[in-house]
Amino acid sequence: VQLQASGGGWVQPGGSLRLSCAASGTFRGIDVMGWFRQTPKKERELVANINSEGHTNYEGSVKGRFTISRDNAKNTVFLQMNSLKPEDTAVYYCNAGVMTTTLRRYHYWGQGTLVTVSS
């Protein structure tokens, strides 16, 4: 199973970016998909996640600014980030809880995509 993330880049404060992460490979299904972020000064933290039924969970500082969604048919998760702030600068990692064909569950990570918010 591989997770391929895309959509990072540089944006000015107040701007928007949309991250995407697609899972590929052979598996039975995916339950929770999410985004984490990490900076040199902070440990990796959960930004948002979404389960297969569409229930979402957000870290407090991004509520109202970020929206997580997913396309189950394409095994893809998105993170729409609006009103970006310099403190949102980080490497963003996608994560997926995957059920294998042998009914085992593993968490997989994408390669990380850098988001830089600065003027």
pLDDT digits (tens, 9 = 90+) for 76-117: 999 999 999 999 999 999 999 999 889 899 999 999 999 999
pLDDT at 31: 94
pLDDT cut 90: percent of the chain above it: 96
Q: What is the pLDDT of residue 21?
A: 97
**Contact between 15 and 90 (Cβ < 8 Å):** no
The pLDDT assigned to 91 comes to 98
Task: Write the pLDDT tens digit of every residue in 45-72.
Answer: 999 999 999 999 999 999 999 999 999 9
For position 39, what pLDDT does the model report? 96
**pLDDT given at position 69:** 98
What CA–CA distances, in Å, run from 69 to 45, 100, 119? 18, 22, 28
pLDDT, position 51: 95
Judge whether 45 and 36 are in contact, CB under 8 Å: yes
